[in-house]
Chain A
Amino acid sequence: MKSSKKLALIAGIVLVAVIGFAFMPAPKKITVKGSDTMVILAQKWAEIYMKSNPDVAIQVTGGGSGTGISALINGSTDICNSSRPLKSSEMDKLKERYSSLGVEIPCAKDGITIFLNEGNAVSELSIKQLGAIFSGKIRNWKEVGGPDAEIRLYGRENSSGTYVFFQEKVVKGDYAANCQTLPGTAAVVNAVSKDKNGIGYGGAAYAQGVKHCKVKKDDKSRAFLATAETIAKGEYPITRYLYMYMRNRPTGDVKKYVDWILSSEGQKVVNEVGYFPVK
């Protein structure tokens, strides 16, 4: 009986110590990892925030939404940027490891833009045509009103949220085997700008040196360019939210940073980078 009391006392002391350590103030370093689509936006946020909060260090890296979510699950990042919602399997991992469903914060809105080479005669495509192009069913530009030339596809790696989102919303199946995967939307834009028969997709914020393709929901619909107005009105058919994910409700410096991102000042940066604010 005496020994069990001792055991209980030791267990109590260990528990208090563990709780004490757990709630010790953490150093003011915030790590952000994930979506390549969001990396410029996240860097801009960090840069501006650190100027006005010099005691906080924010480290931003890309790698893709999947990579960011893995980092969130394995505890190597505080904030995960993702251009797609968490999958149920990923949420299960958070439940199992942290007894948490994770905290999802939509922080910007984006339109997935279709990039064409500036010399391409095609200027608009329907979702169905885009799906057929990226799944390899349509292989020649003449099938969609362009010249007689083979279509060359450029896309993202499968760890990318943009890859997953585009696959689910547009391709609705497997990508064509000849779709060249590139690390980041900037690389897709660069490849399309050099290939007159190229077509690619990615976040609107990266589109420089290429032509934006108008997109229509179906054959009978009107085609729209991805602009602030068409995305806000819901006219542009390929839009999505960009998210920040955390394991638990943010506290301390992370909370302050997230609150700032959602403030009018943070959302102004969203516009500047080429995305669209959520508020």
Chain B
Amino acid sequence: MKKFAMFILMSGLVLPFMFLSVTLQAQMKVENNLDTVKQKVSTLNDKVAGVEERLATAEADLAKLTKIKLSGYIQAQWINYEASNVYPNNYFMIRRARIKFTYEPINGIVFVLQPDFQPGNITIKDVYVQANDPWLKTFSLFVGKFNRPDYEVEYSSSNREVPERSRVIRAIYPDERAIGAKLEIAPPTVPIKVQIAIFNGNDGIAINNPVYNYGSGKWDKNAVVGQNIDFDNFKDLMARVTYAFKFGKWGGLTIGTHGYYGQIKANSLDVLNSDYSYSKTLANVGKGVRKNWVGFEAQFYADVLGGLTLKGEYIFGVNSTPGYNGSASFVTQTSSINSTKDTLSLLTLTTKTINNAPAISRNFSGWYVYLIKNIGKRNQVAVRYDYYNPNTKLSADQIGTNKWDAKIPINIDPAQYTSFAGTNPVIATGIQNKTITTNKLVSGVDDIPYGTWTFSYSYYFTDNIKFMVAYEMPMNKKVGIVDAKGNGNVISSPFTVNNVTSTYDYSNQIKQNMLTLRMQVKF
């Protein structure tokens, strides 16, 4: 009993200590665990903060990247020409391989760069800065190289329903783009758009002898100047206004007009009228010749079992081609030999011919009409007829006949010769210099009107991939005068295909039809 009481007493004394010890141990363990958890939480916090910081940096970098946009398209095609002056007359080609880089560092300021990649060649098509007004959202200023303001010019090849632009547009707006500045006014609440632009004006135009090349000592013939540099001090103004009407769910109509007011350096003293009659003599070759025209456009959209578009444009005015001061060509020949007694006289004639061409201002007109029908989401058929008369002042029989041919003899030096008397050998020289300037321009191939039918079908495999089959039928007007043998007087430059040289006689209709099979990828 006593032992039991002692056991209880001891237990009563020891157990609390034991309990206390266990509790203390547990508490210490919990505290240790808490410390560990705290440490872990702290570590995790640091890690999360680090991740957040990295995320913020990544987001900032990503935000910068979203300001850069890439778009572009590739057009690969097979072409079959029915023209006899082309060889090979069927081939695959890359028509377009373009990537458009758009960078908008701040809202409303856009930088655009669009190179075109061709096998062995890279050219810059668009390069401009666009500043949009942030307040009225109405005004945009473009500076750089960009499309001229015209409906068909600004309508991208990637969207066009037929393979190429109309002949008149290709003639008056070669290369589509020009270097200059443009103001666009497009109020968000009114469906009107006004474009006013100023350009160098000679972009894409081939000019004979535009510059003297001091390196080669010759005039650079047929150089294309003005792709990226100006040729003269004249600047060309363009303006275009369009207004869009909507007819509710039935469709809409956009009408517009554009005008071109400019000059190009004549590059010659003589200027001809459109009918090749003489117009005037300029004070110097730096004077300008006119490039003035106006155009009217309309695009009608209707919903007739799917989308239907009827659109067209008519342009007329005066377009001038610069002349050139040609390089001299020398002909040296011994004209006569005279022997008297022991004196031998050699008369050497040196003829120097300078070929000049006058500038000419041609009255032209051109138009095109498209009929486009979308069938379902994927199919589109289009028909276009376009007509271009590069010289409205010449009738068909005047082409090849009307010409300006002024031969101006100048600088005939008095005959000079020097005689030497002697026995053997006898040397004598005599030189006569004569300079003739031929200044001529003959109507011909450049004045022939063309009408072209184009039929095309496009299939949109997806929104990015389009297949197109198109058939173009350019038809020249039969021009010139046919002689008794049946030969016309308007012929092309000779062309040689497989060693056979021929020409086109434009008193006939020349077969120049073309089949195009195209695949386009757009992104």
A99 touches B159 (CB 8 A): no
- Chain B residues lying within 8 Å of A11, measured Cβ to Cβ, are 455
Contact between chains at A18 and B159 (CB < 8 Å): no
Q: Which of A19, A97, A168 contacts B375 (CB 8 A)?
A: A19
Whether B301 and A95, one on each chain, are in contact in the complex, defined by CB atoms closer than 8 angstroms, is yes
A101 touching B252 in the complex, CB below 8 Å, given contacts A95-B309, A96-B159, A248-B306 = yes
Within 8 A of A (CB), among B49-75: none
Among residues 66 to 119 in chain A, which have CB atoms less than 8 Å away from a CB atom of chain B? 73-76, 88, 95-101, 103
Residue contact A99 to B301, C-beta cutoff 8 Å: yes
1/0 per position for B369-389, CB-CB distance to A under 8 A?
Answer: 000111111111100000000
| In the complex, chain B residues whose CB is within 8 Å of the CB of A100 | 251, 301, 303, 306-307, 374
| Proximity bits, B276-308, A CB within 8 Å = 1, else 0 | 000000000000000000000001010101111
CA A77 to CA B155, docked complex, whole Å? 25
Chain B, Cβ-Cβ closest to A22: B376
**Is A146 an interface position by the 8 A CB rule?**
no
Tell me, in angstroms, the Cα distance from A63 to B455 when the chains sit together. 40
Q: Which of B102-159 contact A (CB under 8 A)?
A: 107, 134-135, 137, 155-156, 159
Q: How far is the CB of A191 from chain B (nearest CB, A)?
A: 17
Q: Which of A76, A96, A173, A249 contacts B303 (CB 8 A)?
A: A249
A253 to B: closest C-beta gap in Å:
15
**Contact between chains at B301 and A101 (CB < 8 Å):** yes
B422 at the interface (CB under 8 A from A): no
Q: A22-B376, A75-B463 are in contact. Are A99 and B252 (CB under 8 A)?
A: no
Q: Which residues of A contact B303 (CB under 8 A)?
A: 100, 103, 248-249
Contact of A98 with B307 at beta-carbon distance under 8 Å, contacts A22-B375, A103-B249 already known? yes
| CB-contacts of A96-149 with B (<8 A) | 96-101, 103
A100-B303, A248-B303 known; A173 vs B252 contact (CB < 8 Å): no
Contact of A88 among B191, B251, B309, B376 (CB under 8 A): B191
When distances are taken between beta carbons in the complex, the residues of chain A under 8 Å from B379 are 18, 21-22
When C-beta atoms are compared, the residue in chain A nearest to B251 turns out to be A101
With known contacts A22-B379, A248-B307, A74–B463 Cβ distance under 8 A: yes
Q: Within 8 Å CB of B194, what residues of A?
A: none
| Complex interface: chain B residues within 8 A of A98 (CB) | 306-307, 374, 377
A75 touches which of B107, B301, B305, B377 (Cβ 8 Å): B377
C-alpha spacing A244/B350, complex, angstroms: 84
Residue in chain B with minimal CB distance to A74: B463
Whether A174 pairs with B134 at a CB distance below 8 angstroms is yes
Q: In the complex, are the beta carbons of B249 and A249 less than 8 A apart?
A: yes
Whether A15 sits at the interface, judged by CB under 8 Å, is yes
B107, A174: Cβ atoms closer than 8 Å: yes
In the complex, what's the smallest C-beta–C-beta distance from A69 to chain B, in angstroms? 13
Any chain B CB within 8 A of the CB of A214? no
Contacts of A97 in B (CB 8 A): 159, 460, 463
Query: How far is it, in angstroms, between the C-alpha of A96 and the C-alpha of B377 when the chains are bound?
Result: 13
Instruction: Tell me the minimal C-beta distance from A41 to chain B in angstroms.
Output: 22
Q: A15-B381, A101-B301, A173-B134 are in contact. Are A96 and B155 (CB under 8 A)?
A: yes
Contact check, A99 vs B309: say whether CB atoms are below 8 A apart. Answer: yes
For residue A247, CB closer than 8 A to chain B, the reply is yes
- The reply on B47 being an interface residue by CB < 8 A is no
- Residues of B contacting A168 in the complex (Cβ-Cβ under 8 angstroms): 137, 188
Does B246 sit at the interface, judged by CB under 8 A? yes
| B428 at the A interface (CB under 8 A) | no
A15 and B176 CA atoms in complex are apart in Å by 33
Determine the chain A residues whose CB is within 8 A of the CB of B378 once the complex forms. 22, 75
> Which residues 302-348 in B have Cβ within 8 Å of A in the complex?
303, 305-309
B510 in contact (CB, < 8 A): no
For the complex, what is the distance from the CA of A143 to the CA of B155, rounded to whole Å?
A: 50
CB closest chain-A residue, reference B459? A18
Cβ contacts under 8 Å, A174 to chain B = 107, 134
A75, A99, A168: residue with the most chain B Cβ atoms closer than 10 Å: A99
Decide if B482 is an interface residue (CB 8 Å cutoff): no
Closest chain-A Cβ to B384's Cβ sits at a distance in Å of 14
Please measure, in the bound complex, the distance between the C-alpha atom of A23 and the C-alpha atom of B249, giving whole angstroms: 20
Q: How far is the CB of B108 from chain A (nearest CB, A)?
A: 9
B185 within 8 A of A: no
- Contacting residue for B376 out of A15, A21, A99, A101, CB 8 A: A21
Contacts of B309 in A (CB 8 A): 95, 99
Cα distance A165–B252 in the bound complex, in angstroms: 25
Complex Cα distance, B251 from A26, in Å, reads 24
Residues of A contacting B159 in the complex (Cβ-Cβ under 8 angstroms) = 96-97
- B186 contacts the other chain (CB 8 A): yes
Residues 19-55 of A, flagged 1 when their CB comes within 8 A of B and 0 if not, give 1011100000000000000000000000000000000
Complex formed: what's the CA distance from A235 to B508 in Å? Answer: 75
**Residue in A closest to B299 when the chains form the complex, CB atoms:** A95
Select from chain B the residue with minimum beta-carbon distance to A85: B188
A99 contacts which of B107, B135, B308, B457 (Cβ < 8 Å)?
B308
- Additional A-B contact list (9), CB under 8 Å, known A75-B463, A100-B306: A22-B376, A22-B378, A23-B376, A96-B156, A97-B460, A101-B301, A173-B134, A247-B307, A248-B306
7 A-B pairs with least C-beta separation? A99-B307, A22-B376, A100-B307, A74-B463, A99-B309, A96-B159, A22-B375
Instruction: Provide a sorted-by-A list of 13 A–B residue pairs whose CB atoms are within 8 angstroms.
Output: A11-B455, A18-B379, A18-B457, A74-B463, A95-B309, A97-B460, A97-B463, A98-B307, A99-B372, A99-B380, A103-B249, A173-B135, A249-B303
